[in-house]
């Protein structure tokens, strides 16, 4: 069967665009899209992480690791909705929530936007933004999830001494926040804290309260 030349050219273009395209090209100039990074109920102000939206026109894989924030006032008259158009209240805003920021400023950020539309997020998108996934195939990232307000457990000096293998794929610490857009204890069926969460580049592979279990797993897979 002969493959039309047009199909071959289109396939080649898709491959090239995937290699040298825009990693954040899913964003458009309008509207601005960000993730809630801070909430100030007293001042009715919301701070958004708009780093990805700001990088929408940047090409290639070597994009600078810089961040950008935008703070908006949300007076009582501001329209809050979800994607279905249902009206929401201030209480529906959560840390980590993806939000479309709508204003009449022709794409320019307004101090007090006309509407904030809360967008749906997959569990994977939320976990990725929390930095829980490993960087690539064959790699494993370890995160220590600990209680809200608790002292940081298992500091880097302790882990370097007792479990150096966790540094192979990266290690991090995350304070549990029940008010985050995704309740990690419920989503990952976590009981007691602190707990070790080990992810590959796609999913959770180890969940345990014992550091020895993490070391045993990593030593086994790293030997292969």
DSSP string, 86-121: -B--GGG--BT-EEEEE-SSTTS--SS-SEEEEPP-
Task: Tell me the C-alpha distance between 50 and 80, whole Å.
Answer: 19
Task: Tell me the C-alpha distance between 35 and 27, whole Å.
Answer: 13
Q: With cut-offs at 50, 70 and 90, classify the pLDDT of residue 18.
A: very low
Query: Residue 103 domain-assigned?
Result: yes
Mean pLDDT across the stretch 92-106? 86
Tokens 């796609």, residue located: 202
Domain extent, residue 154, equals: 124-222
Q: Cβ distance 31 to 70 under 8 Å?
A: no
Domain count, the chain: 2
* Shared domain check, 134 and 61: no
* Shared domain check, 178 and 146: yes
Mean pLDDT across the stretch 59-87? 86
Among the candidates 120, 154, 183, a domain finishes at: 120
pTM of the predicted protein model = 0.80
Q: Cβ distance 184 to 191 under 8 Å?
A: no
Q: Cβ distance 187 to 178 under 8 Å?
A: no
* Shared domain check, 28 and 116: yes
Does position 19 have pLDDT exceeding 50, yes or no?
no
Query: Residue 89 domain-assigned?
Result: yes
Q: With cut-offs at 50, 70 and 90, classify the pLDDT of residue 223.
A: confident
Over the chain, what is the mean pLDDT? 86
Identify the helix (H) or strand (E) that includes residue 17: helix 5-20
Query: Residue 31 domain-assigned?
Result: yes
We report the CATH number of the domain holding residue 156 as 3.40.30.10
* Shared domain check, 199 and 129: yes
Q: What is the pLDDT of residue 17?
A: 44
* Shared domain check, 164 and 116: no
Of residues 118 and 60, more confidence is placed in: 118
* Shared domain check, 112 and 193: no
We report the CATH number of the domain holding residue 76 as 2.40.50
Task: Tell me the C-alpha distance between 224 and 214, whole Å.
Answer: 16
Query: Residue 111 domain-assigned?
Result: yes
Mean pLDDT across the stretch 130-136? 94
**How many C-beta neighbours within 10 Å does residue 220 have?**
10
- Indicate the length of the chain as a whole number: 224
Picking from 69, 68, 77, the residue whose alpha carbon sits closest to that of residue 112 is: 77
């Amino acid at each position: 069967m002969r493959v039309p030349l047009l199909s071959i050219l289109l396939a080649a273009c898709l491959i090239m665009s995937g290699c040298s395209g825009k990693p954040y090209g899913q964003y458009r100039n309008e509207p601005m899209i960000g993730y809630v990074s801070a909430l100030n109920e007293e001042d009715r102000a919301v701070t958004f992480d708009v780093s990805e939206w700001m990088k929408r026109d940047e090409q290639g894989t070597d994009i600078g690791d810089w961040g950008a924030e935008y703070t908006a006032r949300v007076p009582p008259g501001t329209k809050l909705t979800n994607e279905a158009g249902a009206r929401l209240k201030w209480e529906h805003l959560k840390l980590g929530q993806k939000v479309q920021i709508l204003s009449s400023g022709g794409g320019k950020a307004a101090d007090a936007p006309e509407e904030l539309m809360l967008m749906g997020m997959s569990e994977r998108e939320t976990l990725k933004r929390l930095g829980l996934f490993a960087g690539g195939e064959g790699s494993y990232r370890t995160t220590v999830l600990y209680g809200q307000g608790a002292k940081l457990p298992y500091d880097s000096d302790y882990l370097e001494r007792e479990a150096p293998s966790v540094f192979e794929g990266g290690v991090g610490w995350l304070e549990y926040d029940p008010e985050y857009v995704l309740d990690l204890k419920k989503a990952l069926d976590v009981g007691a804290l602190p707990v070790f969460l080990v992810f590959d580049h796609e999913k959770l592979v180890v969940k345990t309260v014992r550091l020895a279990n993490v070391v045993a797993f990593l030593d086994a897979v790293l030997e292969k």
